[in-house]
């Protein structure tokens, strides 16, 4: 847990649902974390977790075939030193019970994104997506 008191802050941005947007998601996160004065190592981890969650939307919720105008929204908020990252998308509804990473000792390509997210964040929660959204993922981390 950080000894720095981070200023309360909230910011959100919409991105096209495609793999080219992942870089933009990372840039957005880094800019927000700069404003929050989050230390470098933790910032790298958080950016990875957020980018993995965004990648899951592109790859799994939309199976790499979202319409060219389809959007996903990433919202980063910090309140009382608790960081919350919310994702909103209109892809295939996610069944949280089916979201699992591969066995880490069973070395093979794939299945690591969810593992990274769980390793880095304190909590991963799928909430009901309110219209017009279908999926609403919330990642939290105490700073």
Q: Please, which of residues 105-124 interact with other proteins by CB under 8 A?
A: 105, 107-110, 112-113, 115-116, 119
H or E segment and range at residue 2: none
CA dihedral 41, 7, 32, 59 (to 10 degrees): 80
Nearer to other proteins by Cβ, of 116 and 126: the residue is: 116
Rounded distance, CA 22 to CA 2, Å?
27
Q: Please, which of residues 34-63 interact with other proteins by CB under 8 A?
A: 41, 44-45, 47-48, 51-52, 55, 58-59
Rounded distance, CA 19 to CA 57, Å?
10
Rounded distance, CA 108 to CA 113, Å?
13
**Closest approach of other proteins to the CB of residue 24, in Å:** 11
**Closest approach of other proteins to the CB of residue 106, in Å:** 11
**Closest approach of other proteins to the CB of residue 131, in Å:** 29
Distances, alpha carbon 113 to alpha carbons 18, 51, 80, 140, in Å: 16, 9, 28, 16
Nearer to other proteins by Cβ, of 34 and 119: the residue is: 119
Question: Which residues bind to other proteins, rule: CB under 8 A?
Answer: 19-20, 22-23, 26, 41, 44-45, 47-48, 51-52, 55, 58-59, 104-105, 107-110, 112-113, 115-116, 119
């Amino acid at each position: 847990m950080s000894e720095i008191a981070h200023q309360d802050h909230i910011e959100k941005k919409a991105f096209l649902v495609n793999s080219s947007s992942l870089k933009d998601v990372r840039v957005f996160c880094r800019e927000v974390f700069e404003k929050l004065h989050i230390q470098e190592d933790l910032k790298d981890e958080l950016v990875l977790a957020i980018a993995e969650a965004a990648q899951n939307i592109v790859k799994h919720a939309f199976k790499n075939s979202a319409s060219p105008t389809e959007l996903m929204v990433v919202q980063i908020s910090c309140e009382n030193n608790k960081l919350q990252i919310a994702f909103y998308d209109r892809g295939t509804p996610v069944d949280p019970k089916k979201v699992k990473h591969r066995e880490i000792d069973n070395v093979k390509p794939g299945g690591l994104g969810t593992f990274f997210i769980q390793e880095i964040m304190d909590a991963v929660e799928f909430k009901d997506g309110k219209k017009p959204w279908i999926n609403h993922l919330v990642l939290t981390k105490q700073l």
